[in-house]
Amino acid sequence: MDTLRFITCGSVDDGKSTLIGRLLYETKLIFEDQLEALKADSKKFGTQGERLDFALLVDGLQAEREQGITIDVAYRFFATPRRRFIVADTPGHEQYTRNMATGASTAQAAVLLIDARKGVLVQNKRHSRIVSMLGIRHVALAVNKMDLVDWSQLVFDEIEIVYRRFAQDLGFETITAIPLSALEGHNVVDPRHAAMPWYRGQSFLQWLETVPTEGREAAQPFAMPAQWVNRPNLDFRGFSGRVGSGSVKPGDSVRISPSGVTSRVKEIVVGTGSIAEAAAGQSVTLVLEDEVDASRGDVIAAASNPVESADQFEADLLWMSEHALLPGRPYAALIHSKSASVSVTHIKHRLDVNTGAHLAAKTLGLNEIGTVNVSFDRSVPFASYAQNKRLGAFIVIDKLTNETVGAAIIHFALRRAVNVHWQALEVTKVVRAEMKHQRARCLWFTGLSGSGKSTIANLLEKRLHADGKHTYILDGDNVRHGLNRDLGFTEADRVENIRRVAEVAKLLVDAGLVVLVAFISPFRAERQLARGLFEDGEFVEVFVDTPLEECERRDVKGLYAKARRGELKNFTGIDSDYEPPEAPEIHLRTIAGKPEACVDQIVHLLRS
């Protein structure tokens, strides 16, 4: 028997859990004589890549409580004589859309519940677009609570027409509309009911038993991301993971991406034994004939069809955080077990979940979907999501909170990702700095407006100039007259402001200069982005620590007064947060000392 993984989704109180409970209850009654045999067989359905070993339990949540497991999606397992099933029962609340996406990411079919009294809602449309985005092509439109609309064919037909009109561009191969009452059990298992003589279609269970389960991965060339390097002793070294597509046998020639190293498969190990062939979906350990250099996240693929690598992509992104996406901000990414840093370089458009229209957007909010360009800090092996779900998807993680904030699927690599290469230069940064008899550095001054950043930076530059050093100042106000004149003061614009300045500072340090950057730079993530552009020891964070009250007292530009009157929006310290550095190289407390004393402190550190 094959196994169907499906997801139930819909709006709040549409009856998802009731439907699954009824289905589990009735299938248990019908096939109770098979339970013991199925229980003994149930361990086969747990795989290393899953968050939960599935057991044959009517109440999946009971298993979670007994095993002390906390998960975002309730998974349940059941079987009939025709097929085995794994169902992801996901919450309908809008704030838990991320959980719904988690369940849909491994499903082969989707059950979209609609309350017959309410019709097609926005949440139904949002879930449908996510289901489509994640590559599910078979949908059951389960119109529930038909008993509350007097089993009306007119109501059912109207819902089906509205939904099919909405879903015509979503790429579903089949949409099967089924009227039912989950509470009373009508049309859940038994397709016959006197109250709906007008319906001659399948019951819900019959649809589950007949919906296609074939995945596109089986027909693709072999590829397997390495989850970890298995080396229990000096005599054994294998690469463990789940086969993402195709099949592999001992003797097959393989290529490792991104390194490009080739070898042959010596043995395929499962548990304590070997097998003659592994196919898509199986968790195995591959032993190669050669000692190749590969690590977690690298992809082992057929040598005749190697997996591409790139660092820039177009992707669809579902944003899952209450804190909006900020283009240019560095986030962590996990793509088939490989960790990297990623940032959104451009939002092409945001998707209207109601109409499918492409809307202009500078950011993405909670549960919004957009098409974006992304840039990784390294080359990663990939395939388009349309070809391979395992290799074409990644999650986005906030570096500071470790919260999963987005899920993305890759369309294709951007052409510039493979056409643009570093040009080797013979005159290096070290040579340029030695010619100036100095060490190139970036001193990054951060603090509130009015804290004294520019004053201290100016005095420091005069001191360094007197010592014969070659310097340059990048001041926040000055840069906004030219390079960043197109940017405002929204959070997204502030991120881009710092990104541009950090790149310019990197070029000036490469020229051998001592660069003084005086920017409020209120967010730790952007200061961390700037630091990451430089080599160890080149970036010196200088925290000009002045209390807000003192900055307001100085208020030489009158900005705080305007912000207090509401004339300046997004002003740091008033209606926009400042995140102080946690471990700056230099901490200047300006209340306790004059600017000249602060300069002495910096010079002393530089000389030491």
Q: Which residues are catalytic?
A: 521
Phi-psi region of 568 (alpha: psi -120 to 50; beta: other; left: phi over 0): beta
Rounded Cα distance between 371 and 346, Å, is: 9
Rounded Cα distance between 207 and 138, Å, is: 10
> Among 347, 581, 318, which residue's Cα sits nearest to residue 448?
581
Cβ atoms < 10 Å from Cβ of 260:
9
Name 198's Cβ contacts closer than 8 Å, sequence gap at least 6: 153
Instruction: Report CA Rg, the chain.
Output: 29
CB 127 within 8 A of CB 14: no
Rounded Cα distance between 57 and 78, Å, is: 8
SS3 (DSSP) at 156:
helix
Per the DSSP assignment, residues forming a β-bridge with 372 are: 315, 347
Give me 386's structure tokens: 């349309």
Q: At residue 148, what is the residue type?
A: L
Rounded Cα distance between 89 and 59, Å, is: 11
Name 277's Cβ contacts closer than 8 Å, sequence gap at least 6: 247, 248, 249, 268
Is the dihedral angle over the CA atoms 187, 189, 193, 197 positive or is it negative? positive
First to last CA, the chain: 72
Give me 429's structure tokens: 């940064």
> Among 240, 375, 234, 237, which residue's Cα sits nearest to residue 296?
240
CB 155 within 8 A of CB 149: yes
Rounded Cα distance between 502 and 531, Å, is: 8
Rounded Cα distance between 460 and 602, Å, is: 8
Residue with tokens 């003994």: 40
DSSP 147: G
DSSP state letters, 500-538? HHHHHHHHHHHTT-EEEEE-----HHHHHHHHHTS-TTT
Residue-level length of the chain: 608
Give me 313's structure tokens: 């992509």
